[in-house]
Amino acid sequence: MINKMRFASVTVTDIDKAVDFYVSVLGFSVVIEMPLPGGNRFVMVAPPGGGSNLVFSLPMPGRTHAPSAAIAFETGDVKATFDELSGKGVEFSRPPVKTPWGGVEATFLDPFGNSYMLQQGGPLE
């Protein structure tokens, strides 16, 4: 039986830049950081409220970075979080909007083009 999701992996092109963005801008903390063979690193971060973790992955050798991610972060106030992160230079592809399912949602990008949702309210409460 599956008990919970341990982490999701996000492809980035620069681990140091990813750590700086997720820790300094989004307020996450580093859960695990350890060296890997070939000069790579395993880095796992988590939001302040926990829930699940993100692991950074470099593109596979010979492949280019293709931004992706279908990850939603929960917040108690999408508008306030939007204002805070916008003030820190975070790029939003969609400002806060009411959703058909009864919540509020906004979409932002990390420095690598990965897209994330901020969600408040709705059917998962």
Residues 29 and 71 in one domain: no
Domain limits for position 37: 7-59
pLDDT tens-digit readout, 105-116? 999 999 999 999
**Does pLDDT of 1 surpass 70?**
no
The CATH number that applies at residue 87 is 3.10.180.10
Q: 29-62: buried (b, 16+ CB within 10 Å) or exposed (e) per residue?
A: eeeeeeeeeeeeeebbbbbeeeeebbebebeeee
CA 107, CA 90: separation in Å to the nearest integer?
Answer: 10
Helix (H/G/I), strand (E/B), else coil: 95: strand
**Does pLDDT of 39 surpass 90?**
no
- Residue 69 is predicted with a pLDDT of 66
Residues 54 and 11 in one domain: yes
Residues 71 and 52 in one domain: no
For CA atoms 74, 113, 57, 69, the dihedral sign is: positive
Is residue 87 situated within a structural domain?
yes
pLDDT tens-digit readout, 44-87? 999 998 888 999 888 777 777 777 767 888 899 999 999 999 99
pLDDT tens-digit readout, 8-34? 888 899 999 999 999 999 999 999 999
